[in-house]
Amino acid sequence: MTLLDDFRLETRTWLEENCPIEMRKTSTTETDICWGGRKWTFKSKAQKQWLERMASRGWTVPGWPKEYGGGGLSGDEIKILQEEMKRINAISPLESFGIWMLGPALLKYGSHQQKLEHLPKIARGEIRWCQGYSEPGSGSDLASVQTKGVDKGDHFLVTGQKIWTSYADKADWIFALVRTEPDAKKHKGISFLLFDMASEGVTTKSIQLISGSSPFCETFFDDVKVPMENVVDERGNGWTIAKYLLTHEREMVSNLDAIFGGSAGLYEAALETIGLDETGRLDNPLLRAEIGDFLIDEMAFTTHLAAAKDFHRAGNQLGARSAELKYLGTELNKRRQSLVVQAGGLETLSGSEENSGISKQSASWLRSKGNSIEGGTSEIMLSIISKAVLGLPSLG
């Protein structure tokens, strides 16, 4: 037996003993996810137990170093942990922007002190983070952010507005792009600041989407005092960190494919609502053809994502190619959701009174429209690929 076999066996035993039955599910929905944070109320005793047990081993963030609350596992070990969790359908104990985004950024750019202060709290699900990037005037042209941080010696006074801040109303801390060097060039004047959302001068207002949900907020800063030591890396180097993080975000967004849960019931729905003709084919040839086109693209993307994961696990950086996954994955999901409501027909046109008649399928369909906007639009992804992968000339 190799060391990895030992690890697999130990992991299997530990998971069997420690993963509560309620935390083993073949399909997960948005409401099953544990986000953690000061304001979090656990959905069940099992959810709390599962988080605590996994966090005690550092397995909410298995790849992070042990001293920062991680599991210190190698790539191969992480793969085994994932496989063993999948084997018993164990759901993820904790998801958060802290894990996906801030953590990787701090590990790469943060000081030892910053890592010690923030990473263990992320790993244990104690602090929930949000991301303050976009502004009303800075969407695709993100580096044009205007939120300003005025140097007051030992602190900045931060004033401005962020938008599309995911779950800002539920978050405890924010990592934000703030213009602290007004005289520097566009990309060189931004700093990456960390601050508590409970600070004086921070207010949030949620934005209702066409899908009925409100995952995003407008976030306002009015003379918010941010200590100087809360700058990550050098002042003025925020854009570098932001770009690094956006790459991570893209990898995550396309990984959401797993959360969306395969075909989202497309094939089953089509069979149920449309039925078969006398040759045993779906009784709507044109919609059937569209589903068929989707089917092969779905197979292609699924194998591509698996290849990308192997590539990544083997120690290669995806870099600009994460734009390719983001583009393909989000465009595919839009098609999928659109086909689900087409197949569902009239059945998906009514929903509950509380959600203004928006059915679950319609909500997913409407929400999916944002997939190719958030985290960099499809058009920005194509521009990145043109420039960084194909080597085509660019205007700027």
Partner 1 sequence: MELFNSEETLLKDSAAGFMSENAPVQALRNIRDRKAPLCFNKELHKSLADMGWFGMLLPEEAGGYDFGHRAAGIVAEEMGRNLTASPFLSTAVLSAVGLRHASGDHLSEWGPQIASGDAVIALAIDEGAKHNPVRIKATAKPDGNGFILNAKKRAVFDGFNADRLIVVAKAEEQTALFIVNPTASEVMVERSSMLDSRNAANIEITNLHLDGKDLLCPLEKSDDTLRAMLRSGRAVAASEQLGIAKEVTERTTTYLNERKQFGVPIGMFQALQHRMADLYCQIEETSSLVSASLRAIDTTQDSADILSRAAKAKVAKVARTATEEAVQIHGGIGMTDEVDIGLFMKRDRVLTEMLGDCAHHIDFLLRNRGL
- Interface contacts to partner 1, rule CB under 8 A: 267, 270-271, 276, 280-282, 288-289, 291-293, 295-297, 299-301, 303-304, 306-308, 310-311, 314, 318, 321, 324, 327-328, 379, 381-383, 385-386, 389-395
Compute the distance between CA of residue 103 and CA of residue 64 in angstroms, rounded to an integer: 9
Adjacent-strand bridge partners of 138: 135
Contact criterion met (CB below 8 Å) for 42 and 50:
no
Nearer to partner 1, 209 or 287 (CB): 287
Crossing angle of helices 360-368/321-344, nearest 10°?
150
Nearer to partner 1, 108 or 387 (CB): 387
Residue 210 or 306 with smaller CB distance to partner 1? 306
For the bound state, the minimum distance from the C-beta of residue 324 to partner 1, rounded and expressed in Å, comes to 5
Q: How far is the CB of 329 from partner 1 (least distance, A)?
A: 10
Considering the complex, state which of residue 210 and residue 389 has its C-beta at the smaller distance from partner 1: 389
Q: How far is the CB of 366 from partner 1 (least distance, A)?
A: 24
- Rounded to an integer, what is the distance from CA 12 to the centroid of its chain? 27
- Do the Cβ atoms of 163 and 205 come closer than 8 Å? no
227 phi and psi, to 5 degrees? -55, 145
Supply the minimum distance, in Å, between the C-beta of residue 367 and partner 1. 23
Least distance in angstroms from the C-beta of 311 to partner 1: 5
Nearer Cβ to partner 1 (153/391): 391
User: Are the C-beta atoms of 90 and 53 separated by less than 8 Å?
Assistant: no
* Rounded Cα distance, 194 and 97, in Å: 13
Closest approach of partner 1 to the CB of residue 194, in Å: 34
Helices (H), 44-100: 45-56, 75-87, 97
Closer to partner 1 by CB, 80 or 323: give it: 323
CB 79 within 8 A of CB 7: no
